[in-house]
């Protein structure tokens, strides 16, 4: 996945990229901020208003079934084929990551990954976030 629009930090020449951080169960994920057009945080939205069934990222990312809950947040993503909605447990907010905080998936994980939308890892303090491309995410990929 190509990262778009690096922002130059005025204090240094570091390239910063903006990500929306969100949680599914106890797992932290990040998606490029330019992909998310709106966050519905706990709003009661009828599926008829969306015109589609939101995708449960718990299922898409093979999160253990014990964590299956009614996910209260929706990420609205505009794709080349229209809008997609993704259910998540919690949106932590926007973060800026320096390119030095972003890592490619290790070869073993990259070869075994179940979904092509996973493309990297980010080191955020003492936490690791899996970086995903929501525009290309498809349910049921193998």
54-98 residue pLDDT tens: 888 888 777 776 655 667 788 999 888 888 999 888 899 999 998
pLDDT at 6: 45
How far is 62 from 71, CA to CA, in rounded Å? 15
* CA angle (86, 92, 95) in 5-degree steps: 105
Give the mean model confidence (pLDDT) for residues 102-125: 77
Name the least confident of 4-18, 32-46, 80-94, 109-123: 4-18
Q: How confident is the model at residue 131 (pLDDT cuts 50, 70, 90)?
A: very high
Could you give the 3-state DSSP secondary structure of residue 86? strand
| Sequence-distant (≥ 6) Cβ neighbours of residue 8 within 8 angstroms | 14, 15, 16
pLDDT at 58: 81
Q: How confident is the model at residue 1 (pLDDT cuts 50, 70, 90)?
A: very low
pLDDT at position 27 over 60: yes
Give the mean model confidence (pLDDT) for residues 26-47: 85
Highest mean pLDDT among 18-27, 46-55, 72-81: 18-27
How far is 55 from 100, CA to CA, in rounded Å? 31
pLDDT at 8: 44
List the one residue out of 128, 38, 54, 129 whose CA is nearest residue 87: 54
């Amino acid at each position: 996945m190509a990262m778009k629009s690096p922002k130059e930090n005025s204090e240094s020449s570091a390239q910063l990229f903006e990500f929306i951080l969100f949680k599914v169960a106890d797992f932290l994920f990040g998606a490029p901020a330019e992909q998310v057009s709106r966050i519905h945080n706990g709003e009661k939205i009828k599926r008829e208003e969306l015109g589609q069934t939101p995708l449960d990222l718990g299922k898409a990312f093979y999160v253990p079934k014990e964590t299956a809950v009614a996910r209260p947040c929706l990420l609205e993503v505009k794709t080349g084929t229209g809008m997609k909605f993704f259910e998540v447990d919690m949106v932590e907010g926007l973060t800026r990551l320096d390119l030095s905080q972003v890592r490619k998936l290790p070869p073993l994980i990259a070869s075994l990954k179940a979904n092509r939308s996973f493309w990297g890892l980010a080191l955020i303090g003492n936490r690791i976030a899996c970086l995903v491309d929501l525009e290309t995410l498809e349910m049921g990929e193998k």
